Amino acid sequence: MKNLFIIFVLIAFACTSSVQKSDGNNSETITAEQTTMEKSIYDFKLNDIDGNEVDFSQFKGKKLLLVNVASKCGYTPQYEDLQKLNEEYGDKVVILGFPANNFGGQEPGTNEDIKQFCTANYGVTFQMFDKISVKGADKHPLYRWLSDKDMNGWNDKEPSWNFCKYFIDENGELKNFFASSVNPMDAEIIQLIES
């Protein structure tokens, strides 16, 4: 009977220890998440549409306009305005296009298809990236940063459709979010670029 009691105490102790270890692991996870939350826009590295790595640290001191794009969307003609913005203000703002197939399957093509479409139809010369997810469980960490106020400082808005826009100032701070319906040549965007 005494041995049975000792075995019971040992089992109870082992269970308590594993719970404490589990709690310890959770606090380690939180610490890792806190490190991620402190990430700056300049810490990201993504492949461009040709598969070459782009280190975002090269954008320090520059204003950025990040746009999730698609080839088969009602807003697709905004490529023309993005290119116009690039031609007129490319010395003041860097436009970054992120193809995504999150909305209505409107970006089904490969990177090669997307590049060919953008070049042939809109003469796109601004920086285009590898197709990523901008919403949902597989959301790319860059778009997690853009749409989580604990990471970027204030904004919780994620893309609601293709051609949503995020404006980053020259200090790497997210300054504004624009819905799909806001044209790239909108006065508010131009004002942010010129300020």
Of the CA atoms within 13 Å of residue 104, those in its CB half-sphere come to 11
The residues assigned a catalytic role are: 73
CA 84 → CA 62, 108, 162, 183, distances in Å? 18, 25, 19, 11
Burial of 54: CB neighbours in 10 Å, binned 0-12, 13-18, 19+: middle
Which contacts qualify for 113-119: CB closer than 8 Å, 24 or more apart? 113/71, 114/49, 114/71, 115/49, 115/50, 117/71, 118/71, 118/79
